[in-house]
A and B are shown apart, each in its own frame.
Chain A
Amino acid sequence: MRPFDFVRPNSVAEALAAWEPGAAYLGGGTNLVDLMKTGALRPGRVIDITRLPDLSAIEVAADGSARIGALVRNADLARAAEILRAYPMVAEALLSGASGQLRNAATLGGNLVQHTRCAYFMDAHAACNRRDPGAGCDARGGAADNMAILGHSPACIATNPSDLCVPLVALDASVEIAGPDGGREMPLAAFHMLPGDTPSEATALRPGELIVALHMPPGAADFAHHARYLKVRERTSYAFALVSAAAAFRMEGARIGAARLTLGSVAAKPWRIEEAEDLLAGQMPDDALFARAADAATAGAAPSNDNAWKIELARRTAIRALKMAASGTPDRMPALPASPFGALEAPAHV
């Protein structure tokens, strides 16, 4: 790989000061280092942020809100009792992703910013607008087969691969950012960008900005009793989603008080479907209702490659996730989180 400067700042201020154009912040490195090896990313300076103080805490308040530091490791977040209690589908999504080893290394901030798994993005010899604006998009008409069905553009058809972000968007999480021009906070739903004509802008981060924390709003925990993440994949564990869905209800008696539905791996961002949520709110849960909500979820979907099959899969995944949420969050994390095979399994490796 290309030689690069390696710096290890001791404070957020030092980290921001160390940034220069072409630099990259290093979290767990599980994504960045891989891409540096393939040559897809070639930072001239790598800024190791893993030693920054005060970014590793999980604080859940009584009102159901929370602040989670950007350096909390995925494994620690998933196993934190407060998270399991307040936002069980966040833990379920995390545990359905990657492998135990990767989750031990990966950070929250890195998970939010992780790059698409589009094979042509990762292959430095392929044409990719996201990596190299204006170069073209080799994924279109190529052998990339897990591409977007929603929100794609002629310039880019890639998906966001994060499991974690799907329930986070469903729960209205927001991102706390530090930057050369001061701090700001923005909804996670607005953080990942649809490609349009500028796929290289994958997130709303401005040059040099650093994620310092994630916020859960008050009320996010109200969904805890009916919240599921479902992930359809090509092997039982250790695979990215073909399609995933986070579904949650705040029940009012037998009726749905409020609903949340977000699809994953269908677009360049977690695909929140407010239309479906509105349609569900105030209703008695039943299969026909869920089918209508799922239809709303995939209404605007269109294949971007040879992937029309994903549209029907997304619809079915949404229906199933809604059903699972309706039957309630299980008492214990299923041994196979987010899997249709999860319920009956004795605890085992995931």
Chain B
Amino acid sequence: MSDTIARPDRFGSNAGQPMTRRDGLAKVTGTATFAADNAREGLLHAVYVPATIARGRVASLRTDAAEAHPGVIRVITPANRPALPGDPEAKPTRFSFAIEVLQDDLVRYAGQPVALVVAETIEAATEGARLVTATYEADPPRTDLDDAPDFGIDTPDFGAPGDVVHGDPEAGHAAASTAIDATYEIAPQYHNAMETHAIVAEWDGDRLLLDTPSQALSMSCAAYAYLFDIPVENVTLRSPYLGGGFGSKAIPNGPLVLAIIAARDLARPVKLMLTRQQMFGPVGHRGQTRQRIRLGADGDGALTVIDHENLAATSSFEMFLEPASNASQGLYAAKALRSRHRGVRLDIGTPGPMRAPGEASGSAVLECAVDEIAEAAGMDPLDFRLKNYAETEPGTGRPYSSKALRECYARGAEAFGWKDRPREPGKMRDEAGLLVGWGMGTAFFPSPMFAAEARATLRADGTAIVETSAADMGQGAWTSLAQIAADSLGLPLDSVEFRSGHSALPDGGVAGGSGHTATAGGALHAAGGNVIRQLGEMAAEQPDSPLFGAGNARLRAHGGRLHVEGDETRSDALVDILARAGKSELVASGKASRPDEDAKRHAMNSHGAVFAEIRVDPDLGQMRVTRLVGAFAAGRIINPRLAESQLKGGMIWGISFALHEEARHDRRTGRIVNADLAEYRVPVNADVRGLEVITVHEDDAYVNALGIKGVGEIGITGTVGAIGNAIHHATGKRFRRFPIRPRDLLAT
């Protein structure tokens, strides 16, 4: 918890309100500057040459034609690359991965940079990159889970999930009167934020100025400082706006570092922006998984075991296994739980966290499997889930900090009309004769909290500046964090200037794991609270103040005044207290993190229930989600408009996961053949119909000072399974590979 202020017991005047985005106007009018919008005097452009094989080595690189091309200034290859003080394969931060910055002639995946061309114009750099000719000694690439032997995890770590067992799985299997054993497969997916990765890098002596989108400013600065061996204070990173991140913009990647190397070498600012094609390689993805799941239930439909095995792809040189089977822990009250992970090393870029890493892919499989066993047990899928409702965390027995999942089920089912669902598949048709199917899934996501700091400055004119380096990826942090900050100071939102997205500001932590509002918001809340506490102490000693002598009485700030709680007649204006003290401003800082004991004592998660309706034209293999209702309990909702938009976004990504996203490799070259947004499909407007979000009120006294759980990623969980189950309900057929494609329907 934060280090200062008592927990408020009611909503402030700003939090809880559906404020529109503070950055909205700037974004729709094009005045918001994204990283690549930064033009600089003397700017050079860099374009890298991607490897066209996936495994082997570069046998030769011819750069003369590129160097001769008008406008090209330098072609950087492993042979002439300026030294990089740090080791690109080291881990300067916990979440760092080895990066490829022309350190050798090895090719580890298709699309890996093998040379960098720097030129006066983007056109010259692009053509220069095309003119570099590489020859390779290629080995057969391994791009599918069956292409290489699997391995287990010896030492669990970030990216290396450990196995978890609770109870006796074998006894659970033996005790089951109904059982299912199913293997699901999920294709590799790539983040593909609208804004591709970009950087404008400029050196001034040993000071480095970076404009680059970042979900984690301080962590990124630490990594850059390490790589270039400069003090971290010398790195200035500006990231006011991101065009989406989805987990891929948290840590430096090879192309960004190459641009910084070039800028230092050439003593000029350098800009590099990935093309859409280049987004499929060096910047992370959700690795392919194959998951075997075995469930057992007794004669009453109570789960005796959830046994979930995950086989996940990682790169040949780094470790990140999509921790899919972990999603089976913590949700259903099975007598025994087991989740296991194994990996396969392939010739692909290193996977990484993407849109509910592990939870999304694990939930997809778990929720379909629950549907399978409910059907086998002859139970309605919702009744089955209620039968196996966990009152305390399965396995550990810990209490939940809060859990309004039962209400999510009830409200979602009511809004959707679930009670009218025929149990048997293939029984519903619409007016046009198309098959209709209804399916559901439980949504589940942990509520983590990281560490952050913030600063609040109250000024003599009654306005305030609040600051934290937190990042807005588009989720709405510019607005919701400002709302929290304004409440902490008892000021209207318009009186508060919020500064963010700059590394010189107090460390706002990581925008990731759905923990950003809780974490950065907690720090802002603490900072504002510290200002108010100091003002209270000052007022208590000011004879002219109505609060003189108020002493230990609880004070509360709202409407620009400090009030004695329970005695609204006794109050004083914040500015008057400041004026009497002869101060032009009052500054305080605050911190937030979750104490270990709190984290241990309670299980902390967001929950939800998603209901999907699909229409299927079985002859033509055409599918369309026509309704999607999600009811979510996610602690305190700071801004209902933005939270709803986050939840909807998550559900749309669920459609994408279930029906669309898939990167396809050419098995001979290892290259991805659909590396563009025409062929790597995500849903378009016409694929998203009848989307409804319900937020269920939930007070949580333990999760953090503000009772915030996070809404960023939970929407994708539950949704994928709900859609898969709806397709089964429509067609009577079970599809165990995502995405489910027209040809899959035709094949049966």
Residues of chain A having any CB pair with chain B under 8 Å: 1-3, 38-39, 99, 117, 119-120, 123, 125, 138, 141-145, 232-240, 242, 309, 312-313, 316-317, 320, 336, 339-341, 343-344, 348-350
Distance to closest chain A CB from B273 (angstroms):
14
Which one of A142, A233, A239, A341 lies within 8 Å of B668 (CB-CB)?
A142
With A119-B673, A312-B746 already in contact, the answer to whether A232 and B668 are too (CB < 8 A) is: no
* Cα separation A142 to B685 with both chains bound (whole Å): 31
* Cα separation A240 to B681 with both chains bound (whole Å): 11
Number of interface residues of B (CB under 8 A): 40
Given contacts A123-B673, A309-B746, 9 further A-B contacts (CB under 8 A): A1-B130, A144-B673, A235-B684, A242-B742, A312-B746, A339-B622, A340-B434, A341-B622, A344-B432
Residues on A with C-beta less than 8 A from B146 are none
Residue interface bits B303-345, CB-to-A below 8 A is 1, else 0: 0000000000000000000000000000000000000000000
- Interface residue? B621 (CB, 8 A): yes
- Interface residue? B747 (CB, 8 A): yes
Which one of B52, B673, B686, B746 lies within 8 Å of A348 (CB-CB)?
B686
With A1-B123, A349-B685 already in contact, the answer to whether A232 and B673 are too (CB < 8 A) is: no
Residues on A with C-beta less than 8 A from B678 are 117, 240
* Cα separation A309 to B674 with both chains bound (whole Å): 20
Distance to closest chain A CB from B58 (angstroms):
14
- 13 chain-A/chain-B pairs, Cβ below 8 angstroms: A39-B130, A141-B668, A142-B668, A142-B673, A143-B666, A143-B667, A143-B673, A235-B683, A237-B685, A242-B743, A344-B430, A344-B431, A349-B686
Among residues of A, the one whose C-beta sits closest to the C-beta of B662 is A234
Among residues of B, the one whose C-beta sits closest to the C-beta of A145 is B664
Distance to closest chain A CB from B743 (angstroms):
5
- Interface residue? B127 (CB, 8 A): yes
Question: Is the Cβ of A234 less than 8 Å from the Cβ of B660?
Answer: yes
A-facing residues in B124-147 (Cβ within 8 Å): 126-127, 130
Residue interface bits B396-428, CB-to-A below 8 A is 1, else 0: 000000000000000000000000000000000
Among residues of A, the one whose C-beta sits closest to the C-beta of B620 is A232
Residues on A with C-beta less than 8 A from B671 are 123, 125
Among residues of B, the one whose C-beta sits closest to the C-beta of A240 is B678
With A1-B123, A316-B620, A344-B432 already in contact, the answer to whether A232 and B130 are too (CB < 8 A) is: no
Question: Is the Cβ of A313 less than 8 Å from the Cβ of B621?
Answer: yes
Residues on B with C-beta less than 8 A from A138 are 666, 668
With A2-B127, A39-B130, A125-B52 already in contact, the answer to whether A239 and B620 are too (CB < 8 A) is: no
Question: Is the Cβ of B622 less than 8 Å from the Cβ of A340?
Answer: yes
* Cα separation A145 to B741 with both chains bound (whole Å): 12
- Interface residue? B387 (CB, 8 A): no
Residues on B with C-beta less than 8 A from A39 are 130
Question: Is the Cβ of B674 less than 8 Å from the Cβ of A119?
Answer: yes
Among residues of A, the one whose C-beta sits closest to the C-beta of B655 is A235
* Cα separation A17 to B617 with both chains bound (whole Å): 52
Question: Is the Cβ of B430 less than 8 Å from the Cβ of A336?
Answer: no
- Interface residue? B455 (CB, 8 A): no
- Interface residue? B679 (CB, 8 A): yes
Distance to closest chain B CB from A120 (angstroms):
7
With A2-B127, A235-B683, A341-B615 already in contact, the answer to whether A309 and B743 are too (CB < 8 A) is: yes
A-facing residues in B603-634 (Cβ within 8 Å): 615, 617, 619-622, 624
Residues on B with C-beta less than 8 A from A235 are 659-660, 681, 683-684, 686-687
* Cα separation A311 to B457 with both chains bound (whole Å): 70
* Cα separation A309 to B432 with both chains bound (whole Å): 25
Distance to closest chain B CB from A190 (angstroms):
29
Residues on B with C-beta less than 8 A from A339 are 622
With A1-B127, A142-B673 already in contact, the answer to whether A238 and B746 are too (CB < 8 A) is: no
Give the 9 A-B residue pairs with the shortest CB-CB distance, closest first.
A237-B686, A236-B686, A119-B673, A349-B685, A340-B617, A143-B673, A125-B52, A143-B664, A238-B684
Residues on A with C-beta less than 8 A from B660 are 234-235
Question: Is the Cβ of A2 less than 8 Å from the Cβ of B666?
Answer: no
- Interface residue? B665 (CB, 8 A): yes
Distance to closest chain A CB from B62 (angstroms):
15
Question: Is the Cβ of A317 less than 8 Å from the Cβ of B620?
Answer: yes
Distance to closest chain B CB from A144 (angstroms):
6
* Cα separation A119 to B664 with both chains bound (whole Å): 11
* Cα separation A141 to B669 with both chains bound (whole Å): 12
Residues on B with C-beta less than 8 A from A237 are 684-687
Residues on B with C-beta less than 8 A from A343 are 432
Question: Is the Cβ of A143 less than 8 Å from the Cβ of B665?
Answer: yes
Residues on A with C-beta less than 8 A from B667 are 143
* Cα separation A278 to B126 with both chains bound (whole Å): 54
Question: Is the Cβ of A313 less than 8 Å from the Cβ of B620?
Answer: yes
Question: Is the Cβ of B684 less than 8 Å from the Cβ of A119?
Answer: no
Distance to closest chain A CB from B150 (angstroms):
23
Residues on A with C-beta less than 8 A from B741 are 234
Question: Is the Cβ of A236 less than 8 Å from the Cβ of B624?
Answer: yes
* Cα separation A344 to B304 with both chains bound (whole Å): 45
* Cα separation A114 to B472 with both chains bound (whole Å): 41
Question: Is the Cβ of A236 less than 8 Å from the Cβ of B687?
Answer: yes
* Cα separation A344 to B431 with both chains bound (whole Å): 8
* Cα separation A337 to B277 with both chains bound (whole Å): 30
* Cα separation A144 to B664 with both chains bound (whole Å): 9
Residues on A with C-beta less than 8 A from B431 are 344
Among residues of A, the one whose C-beta sits closest to the C-beta of B679 is A119
Residues on A with C-beta less than 8 A from B674 are 119
Residues on B with C-beta less than 8 A from A350 are 686
Question: Is the Cβ of B685 less than 8 Å from the Cβ of A348?
Answer: yes
Question: Is the Cβ of A3 less than 8 Å from the Cβ of B127?
Answer: yes
* Cα separation A144 to B615 with both chains bound (whole Å): 28
* Cα separation A138 to B671 with both chains bound (whole Å): 12
Among residues of A, the one whose C-beta sits closest to the C-beta of B430 is A344
